[in-house]
Structure 1
Amino acid sequence: MSPLSAARAALRVYAVGAALIVAQLVRRCVRGFVEPVFSPQPNRVAIVTGGTDGIGYSTAKHLAKLGIHVIIAGNNDSKAQDVVRRIKEDTLNDQVEFLYCDLASMRSIREFVQTFKMKKLPLHVLVNNAGVMMVPQRTTEDGFEEHFGVNYLGHFLLTNLLLDTLQESGAPGRSARVVTVSSATHYVGELNLDDLQSSTSYSAHAAYAQSKLALVLFTYHLQALLSARGVPVTASVADPGVVDTDLYRHVFWGTRLVKKLLGWWVFKTPDEGAWTSVYAAVTPALEGLGGRYLYNERETRSLEATYDPELQRQLWARSCQLTGITDVTRETFGE
């Protein structure tokens, strides 16, 4: 990618962020953000990736508050026990635990799934939350560009390996749910199927936006497969907005300065950012309904290209090849 193209990609990402910040500020001043309230959800099991920090931590905490057995999947061993202890104390729910899962390693993802399945637990909610943002060019253990490998491909593999348990756990009138966290940067993302690894040129902004766009396309195709097979599992996307977390260390210095000085006012708190994920995971309003893009606990329209079934299908097929997953698309749709 030429320096000019990289600069354009960065400007598009920051323009989306600026627009969201203004909208969030207006909302905070006019009516504020109100935490959604849900009935207790006992005897349910949820996995939250990246649950030791930021939005993931808040999501795990809110789900635990509802009485859900929460398993935090993450790679931060050093914080894990303290995080689990704090959530247990805050929620009075002893069914909170940590299992190691490094989304930058397909081997680690497979080991996590094997460990989870050995517990013989059901799985009612999978929240694909973990991610990296604007990191320098580097690769995962398997050689994938890090945004693509961690944000997207790791969750693609994890979801597919857990689908059988989700299907067994769902029931008519009480579907299991897959909630995948994307972002408004997907609106300026461009999917290059010939260079998903950003190998010919690299822009951290473009790579990040592409990974978030891929998550939306993946979710919509997953929902189409689930619907065609008639299984009690749904898949939707949650957009948290602009949230005050630790993910901003690699962004433009001006953005870091705004966050430092005004983040408390114009950014959402991690709790506020988690509300849409929690809503997607438990609200009765979405029972049996998937393929939704949710922002501020409401359905909204994603980028028009994300509704292209052929683009969804092409990305899915390529992702199956990269992860070694069997592509059941043709079999499912009878093609």
Structure 2
Amino acid sequence: MLSAIRSYVLPIIRLYLLGLKVLLVQLFSGPFRLPVMPRQDGKVAIVTGGGRGIGYEVVRHMARLGAHVIIGGRDEQEGLAAVRRICEDYKEAKVEFTKLDLASLQSVRQFVQSFKERDLPLHVLVNNAGVMLVPEGRTEDGFEQHFGVNYLGHFLLTWLLLDTLKDSGKCGRFSRVVNVSSSAHRLGEIRLNDPNSCHCYSAHAAYCHSKLAQLLFSSHLHQELQHGGYPLSSCAVDPGMVDTALYRHLWTPLCLAQSAIARLLFRTPAEGAATVLYAALSPALEGERGGGYWANGRREMTTPTFDPQLQRRLWETSLRLLDLQ
């Protein structure tokens, strides 16, 4: 009985208490206002999950600044509708959609192959797509959904695009990888002997674990790039609590995430996208300054980034799980 409470009930309580804390901080601090960003003509960006929510706002803003943006998403109808809306708003926009299902390693590889066949550069990769509190299930390759979609799918995507990102960057104009994480990483654990949460599954805990893994990957990647002297940086961003479909599985007494209350208390997708765009485009974050963990327009300190041994162990485990060694 005690074990069940510890495994199932405590993760729920801890995550909702953290959410309440984040919400209160948001209400008192106000949203980050994105400064005017420079034109992005000639730059190519990939944004996963760019058909709606935060991803859509990131794509829309980048396209308005002249970047060529590729939306990678699972829902073709949603993605093509997003392309049409953006092109209606900005006649000169260079936006397109390509099928990408992060729950399928084959789909990730096909997406990368299709992109590389076009011989395009790649200056910005925004790993934005994700799932939250979905029912227990497995990806096409047998991984727990949060771990497989939020973390492993993006790990593989980034890994396969690293050479193009490195080749596209240059001194004074680094390429960038931006991983959209969450404050929920603070409640996560890295269980290298049980990455799929087979023992005592909790959707709340699994989500937190996946976001911690994403943050550790982002930090380790940035360090590796620095040591190699590559013109490419990697950072993680917490957009805060944003009124998007990501929260549709969240339980609240008044169905908060689906109600007018959410629109009142949560950030809008455009507000949530502000720090993501800042990390991806701001000249102030050039080179080494582009790493770290960012929230509400500011770099924040977070304990997991100071554990290089855990980062490396997760990195090596991920390479093995993806058969990349």
Task: Give the TM-score category using the shorter length.
Answer: over 0.9
CA displacement at 1:33 relative to structure 2: 4.4
Q: Which amino acid aligns with 2:297?
A: E
Aligned to 2:301: 301
Aligned to 2:269: 270
CA displacement at 1:189 relative to structure 2: 1.1
State how 1:26-41 maps to structure 2 within 5 Å: 26-28=28-30, 33-41=32-40
For the residues of structure 1 that align with 2:90 and 2:318, how far apart are their CA atoms? 38
- Return the TM-score normalized by structure 2: 0.96
Aligned to 1:22: 24
Q: Which amino acid aligns with 1:300?
A: E
Unaligned runs of 5+ in 2: none
Distance 1:255 1:307, change over 3 A: farther
1:59 and 2:31 are equivalent in the alignment: no
For the residues of structure 1 that align with 2:80 and 2:297, how far apart are their CA atoms? 31
Percent sequence identity is 51
- 1:121-151 alpha-carbon deviations (Å, 9 max, x no partner): 1000000000000001000000000000000
State how 1:122-137 maps to structure 2 within 5 Å: 122-137=121-136
- 1:15-50 alpha-carbon deviations (Å, 9 max, x no partner): 11111111111134xxx5423221211100000000
Aligned to 1:4: 6
Which shifted more, 231-240 or 81-90?
Answer: 81-90
Give the SS at the match of 1:264: helix
For the residues of structure 1 that align with 2:45 and 2:256, how far apart are their CA atoms? 36
1:228 and 2:230 are equivalent in the alignment: no
For the residues of structure 2 that align with 1:258 and 1:171, how far apart are their CA atoms? 42
Contact kept in structure 2, 1:48 and 1:70, CA below 8 Å: yes
RMSD: 1.4
Unaligned runs of 5+ in 1: 327-335
Contact kept in structure 1, 2:42 and 2:68, CA below 8 Å: yes
Aligned to 1:49: 48
- 1:28-83 alpha-carbon deviations (Å, 9 max, x no partner): 4xxx5423221211100000000011111111111111111000000101222211
CA displacement at 1:279 relative to structure 2: 0.4
Q: How many pairs were matched up?
A: 322
- 1:285-317 alpha-carbon deviations (Å, 9 max, x no partner): 110024310111111112x13320000000000
- 1:204-224 alpha-carbon deviations (Å, 9 max, x no partner): 000000000001100111011
For the residues of structure 2 that align with 1:248 and 1:256, how far apart are their CA atoms? 10
Contact kept in structure 1, 2:122 and 2:164, CA below 8 Å: yes
Contact kept in structure 1, 2:87 and 2:95, CA below 8 Å: yes
CA displacement at 1:265 relative to structure 2: 1.9
State how 1:61-210 maps to structure 2 within 5 Å: 61-210=60-209
Q: Which amino acid aligns with 1:23?
A: V
CA displacement at 1:92 relative to structure 2: 3.1
Contact kept in structure 2, 1:25 and 1:265, CA below 8 Å: no
CA displacement at 1:255 relative to structure 2: 6.8
Give the SS at the match of 2:259: helix
Q: Which amino acid aligns with 1:65?
A: R
CA displacement at 1:12 relative to structure 2: 1.1
Give the SS at the match of 1:254: coil
